[in-house]
Structure 1
Amino acid sequence: MTKRIVVLGVSGSGKSLIGKGLADQLGYPFFDGDDFHSPENVAKMSEGTPLTDEDRKDWLASLNQLLHENPTAVIACSGLKPEYRTILRRGLDDVAMIYLKGDIDTIWQRHQKRNGHYFNGRGMLESQFETLIEPTTEEAIVIDISQEAEVVLKEAMNGLQGYAQKA
């Protein structure tokens, strides 16, 4: 089984839920990428202002550093563009990525049920979908999130076993 895992997707796709579930099953530490944003990034998102590539650069570098510092880890991170995923993997050859794929309507419904999260508004979610360049099945394990969370988690575990056999 791979030792470093990044769970990708737009806000509200289930990255934290699935990432934590994977970490619990594997006995790995879990890190929510949202916890590593700068206060400036959090303030921007709280105001409904989408982050730029420049805003994300140091954040992604800090998550890459976290992967370097932890021989086992599961990190939840949007990883919206190939260049972001390249930064996350920099200097590591054992990072498995799981992409939680969903449509905007499903994810917006989930957003409306969240309380106390700084990610603010449908416009922010739409901007993530506009920025998103979905990973290919060669780059990540792709899982449809329209299923129950338990099924998504099971598919993620099965995908990781398949990934380990390919590596």
Structure 2
Amino acid sequence: MAKAFQLIVMGVSGCGKSTVAEALAKHFGYPYLEGDSYHPTANINKMRRGQPLNDDDRQGWLETLNSLLKKQIGGAVLSCSALKPHYRTTLCDDISNPVFVYLKGDFDTIWARLQTRKGHFFQGQAMLQSQFDTLIEPTGNNVITVDIRLTIPEIVTQVAKELARR
């Protein structure tokens, strides 16, 4: 793959963003940026209390992630919820080849995954419902939609095939 892409692996919490992003980064030899690692302390504390983040909470975080992507001119993989179109616009500002890898799944499947996850600050069924309520599914030429029921190798293969056509 000659063209370098900025891959943004997106979806609600529990859909597999970190796992898929790590696998894609390894496959393409890109650096991996874990979006959750860049949340300010106030956001983390709010989520630990079971409170959903609002647009104001997310804005500075999204700008930080965009700045990090801009520095990765040889390609990168970022995991980030990117639930709304204007969040995605902020992430893509001045980025050459952004591609969103949307991990699509249903509430029940994702809730079951979240109940087995340990050591993460995301808490509660209400928070997951809030993310589903906030999510506006991405569309467009820079989106690859993936079914989260696929295995990680199947997801990597699907993304690689779609990127090879670009």
Structure 2 counterpart of 1:142, from 119, 138, 145:
145
Counterpart residue number, 2:16: 14
Secondary structure in 1 aligned to 2:116?
Answer: coil
Gaps of 5+ in 2: none
Residues 131-152 of structure 1 deviation map (CA, whole Å, 9 limit, x = unaligned):
0000015341011112222212
Deviates more, 1:143-152 or 1:36-45: 143-152
- Superposition pairs for residues 1-167 of structure 1, below 5 Å? 1=1, 2-71=4-73, 72-162=75-165, 165=166
Deviation at 1:153, TM superposition (A): 2.0
Secondary structure in 2 aligned to 1:147?
Answer: coil
Work out the CA distance in 1 between the residues paired with 2:126 and 2:50: 7
Gaps of 5+ in 1: none
Secondary structure in 1 aligned to 2:161?
Answer: helix
Q: TM-score, normalised by structure 2?
A: 0.94
Identity of counterpart residues, as a percentage? 45
Residues 70-105 of structure 1 deviation map (CA, whole Å, 9 limit, x = unaligned):
112100000000000000000123111110100010
Q: Is the 8 A contact 2:98 2:142 kept in 1?
A: no
Q: RMSD of the alignment, in Å?
A: 1.1
